[in-house]
Amino acid sequence: MKIWVDADALPRAIRDILFRAAERTGIELTLVANQWLETPPLANIRSLQVMQGADVADLEIVRRSVKGDLVITADIPEAAELIAKDVMVLSPRGEEFTRENVRARLNMRDFMDTMRGSGIPTGGPPPLSAKDRQTFANALDRLIARHHRPDSPPVGGPRQPPRA
């Protein structure tokens, strides 16, 4: 299991929860964004910078992730593509996207997009609350407990300098 993060608009509090989980479990964690993101100095945590542009990070995550991986994203079309590949998907608010609920979420997203396109203000999501952070942390812990094999050697520890 690897964790991929659509990190372009990821709240810092969620990033910190992910860093702590990766440090604790040794799971490989990769933040994917169109800007360089600083990560803790652990071998299993890294940042992958992609080119600027709409959906570039999303496409890279879909391309690189495999069955059994976990992706953190709020992007519903990306979630639908990942679920089709048997990749687990969790939103930054702690909602697990599944084959059963992603179609309804995609339909609601498209409906809201149509309303905005018609000039009807729909507002955005509320700011991330302490309850949202706790819900995310709990959902992340449950997914890791269900799918991570603790018998695999941890890959954490200090980063080693590249050999010349």
Residue 18 inside a domain? The answer is: yes
Q: In terms of C-beta density within 10 A (0-12 exposed, 13-18 middle, 19 or more buried), how is residue 35 classed?
A: exposed
Residue 119 inside a domain? The answer is: no
Name the band, by pLDDT with cuts 50, 70 and 90, for residue 80.
very high
Q: Which residues, listed in sequence order, are joined to residue 45 by a DSSP beta bridge?
A: 29
78: CATH? 3.40.50
Closest CA to 147 of 82, 70, 32, 53: 70
CA dist 87 to 80, 110, 161, Å?
10, 22, 32
Count of domains for the chain? 1
Residue 90 inside a domain? The answer is: yes
Higher pLDDT, 84 or 160: 84
Q: Specify the pTM.
A: 0.82
Say if residue 151's pLDDT is above 90. no
**In the predicted model, what is the mean pLDDT of residues 87-94?**
96
Residue 62 inside a domain? The answer is: yes
Residue 115 inside a domain? The answer is: no
Q: What is the pLDDT of residues 104-117, one digit of tens each?
A: 677 666 656 776 67
Residue 131 inside a domain? The answer is: yes
Q: Order of strands across the sheet with 88-90?
A: 45-49, 28-33, 2-6, 70-72, 88-90, 96-97
Say if residue 30's pLDDT is above 60. yes
Residue 160 inside a domain? The answer is: no
Say if residue 163's pLDDT is above 50. no
Q: What's the mean pLDDT when you consider all of the chain? A: 87
Residue 118 inside a domain? The answer is: no
Range of the domain at 56: 2-98+127-147
Name the band, by pLDDT with cuts 50, 70 and 90, for residue 156.
very low
Higher pLDDT, 83 or 53: 83
